[in-house]
């Protein structure tokens, strides 16, 4: 049978990414970073420089940051990492419990930075992604994908039901929920070995990603251009993400991880 990564849920990682419509000017960025340091003060975060390159949030292309390397804030435990780029930020936790405390800490940590930046710039895109991991207690010879993955899902390559060992599936599509917005929905499924105390075991990792991007010409239509609208939009992404995940896993597993419970 499949076991979840943790007793309460299967979430290995949760990440929120926010992109602005232009790089933050140097003086405004220092002011915003000062606000961020103040908000993080006393929480135990360490600060350092990240590597000077990254993949673009929207394009996916590699970007080299020569003049202004990203600033990284990280808890010593490795539970939360915040990376500030000139035109974006990424907030990641590997110690997810439930949505309410995660979102509350995300909002509290970044409110000063976000409010400072959105005085002069607008948000352009918001992304929420989860990685859930399920461990098979048997071997590759007796693995039962049907006890985890929906055979009728159009978000998984249909040949997975015939797979014998490691495999990968990638599916993505665009929707247009509003006239000035484009939504990317993506599901990656990886069947691979995972290390455990008892050695290597078969596992299924599922990445679900939803990104909303403002594509309108008139910024007055941009519902997440300011802080509060941005936070409301992130909450909406969470609801949509749960719906996306329910289209991938079977109902019994969704019930086991309390997928549809309030606050999850």
Residue 77 has pLDDT above 60, yes or no: yes
Per-residue pLDDT tens over the stretch 211-234: 999 999 898 889 988 899 999 999
Least confident piece of the model among 47-56, 124-133, 215-224, 251-260: 47-56
Per-residue pLDDT tens over the stretch 32-66: 999 999 999 888 899 987 665 555 655 556 665 55
Q: At 252, list the tokens.
A: 């019994």
pLDDT at 117: 95
Residue 190 has pLDDT above 80, yes or no: yes
Residue 68 has pLDDT above 90, yes or no: no
Q: How many residues does the chain have?
A: 264
Residue 212 CA to residue 176 CA, distance in Å, equals 9
Residue 69 has pLDDT above 90, yes or no: no
Cβ–Cβ < 8 Å for 8, 1? no
């Amino acid at each position: 049978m499949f076991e979840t990564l943790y007793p309460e849920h299967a979430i290995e990682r949760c990440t929120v990414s926010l992109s602005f419509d232009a790089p933050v000017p140097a003086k405004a960025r220092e002011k915003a970073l000062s606000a961020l340091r103040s908000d993080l003060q006393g929480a135990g975060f360490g600060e350092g420089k990240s590597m000077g390159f990254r993949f673009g949030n929207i394009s996916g292309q590699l970007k080299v940051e020569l003049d202004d390397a990203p600033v990284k804030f990280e808890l010593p435990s490795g539970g939360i990492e915040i990376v500030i780029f000139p035109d974006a930020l990424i907030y990641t936790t590997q110690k997810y419990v439930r949505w309410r405390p995660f979102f509350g800490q995300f909002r509290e940590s970044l409110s000063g930075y976000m409010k400072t930046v959105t005085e002069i710039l607008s948000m352009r895109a918001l992304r929420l992604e989860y990685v859930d991991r399920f461990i098979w207690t048997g071997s590759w010879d007796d693995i039962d994908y049907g006890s985890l993955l929906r055979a009728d899902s159009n978000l998984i390559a249909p040949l997975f039901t015939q797979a014998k060992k490691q495999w990968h599936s990638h599916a993505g599509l665009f929707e247009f929920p509003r006239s000035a917005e484009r939504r990317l929905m993506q599901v990656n499924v990886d069947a691979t070995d995972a290390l455990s105390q008892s050695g290597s075991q078969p596992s299924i990792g599922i990445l679900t990603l939803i990104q909303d991007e403002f594509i309108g010409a008139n910024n007055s239509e941009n519902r997440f251009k300011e802080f509060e609208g941005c936070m409301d939009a992130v909450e909406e992404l969470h609801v949509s993400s749960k719906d996306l995940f329910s289209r991938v896993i079977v109902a019994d597993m969704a019930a086991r991880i309390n997928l549809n419970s309030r606050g999850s």
